[in-house]
Amino acid sequence: MNKSSREKILTRIRTGLYGSTGVHQQKEITRKSTGISAEPTMEKSILVNQFVEELTKVSGNAKIVESEDAVKDFIMSFVEERGISSFAIWKSELIQRLEIGDDLQSKGLKLAHPDKKEEMSNAGIGITEADFAIADTGTIVLIAGEKQPRTVSLIPPIHLAIVKSSLILRNINDLFAMLVNLISEKNSTEESTSCLTFITGPSRTADIELNLTLGVHGPRELFVLILAQ
């Protein structure tokens, strides 16, 4: 589907949802219909605690850190304790600012390039930065892009995702309201990704005799590092 066709389809959807109202009116409708407003409707600390609780229920792990330096310190200690020798990593703004990739390489870890299958198959950990998180299901949401390839969260056996506490939302309704606003602000879908990944805990399957097994189709371990803001 080309960009023109996609734009036409999304325009029809917006028109169906909102009629012929303008962008600002759409935002107001979205806020009213979902409960999102300029003022937080729920204390962030409550959302963070709920997210951690739900993530733990699905075999995920979480840790709250209070500073960006603590994020990097934790990751350096984590890979050392696990004996990890190679890694794949996103190039998000936060990850690049913290120079996490450079520091891991200076410790002797090998960088796996997302477009090289053999390197990715040997990577011990994939490090990403979640774009959003959903508190009531313990889900992280990743928006794929050129600097944020999906393979980093799918292939390595351990996935470590960083998420800012301010980006933890109540539920999926809040998420889609947020996404609608983001698209409306751009007033175009041309810069928007076609892939949104929802991750709730490690990869799991019970295909064989209903025995639950982790890590068959993706990472067997998910660790979410929450940066308090």
Q: What is the pLDDT along the chain (229 residues), one digit of tens a residue?
A: 555 665 665 565 555 544 544 444 444 444 444 444 444 555 888 999 999 999 999 999 999 999 999 999 999 999 999 999 999 999 999 999 999 999 999 999 999 999 999 999 999 999 999 999 999 999 999 999 888 999 999 999 999 999 999 999 999 999 999 888 887 776 655 566 678 999 999 987 777 777 777 777 789 999 999 999 8
Give pLDDT, residue 106: 96
Signed CA dihedral, 63, 65, 68, 72: sign only: negative
Give pLDDT, residue 104: 97
Q: H or E element: which one contains 99?
A: none
Q: Is 151 helix (H, G, I), strand (E, B) or coil?
A: helix
Give pLDDT, residue 195: 86
Instruction: Give Cα separations from 83 to 21, 37, 125 (angstroms).
Output: 56, 45, 11
pTM value > 0.85? no
Packing angle of the helix pair 172-186, 23-34 (nearest 10 deg): 170
Q: Measuring CA to CA, which residue among 119, 108, 116 is closest to residue 84?
A: 108
Give pLDDT, residue 212: 73
How far apart (Å, rounded) are the C-alpha atoms in residues 209 and 189?
44
Q: Measuring CA to CA, which residue among 131, 183, 129, 118 is closest to residue 159?
A: 129
Assess contact for 159 and 126: CB atoms under 8 A: yes
Instruction: Give Cα separations from 222 to 27, 119, 154, 158 (angstroms).
Output: 34, 20, 11, 6
| Tokens (6 digits) for 107 | 């410790």
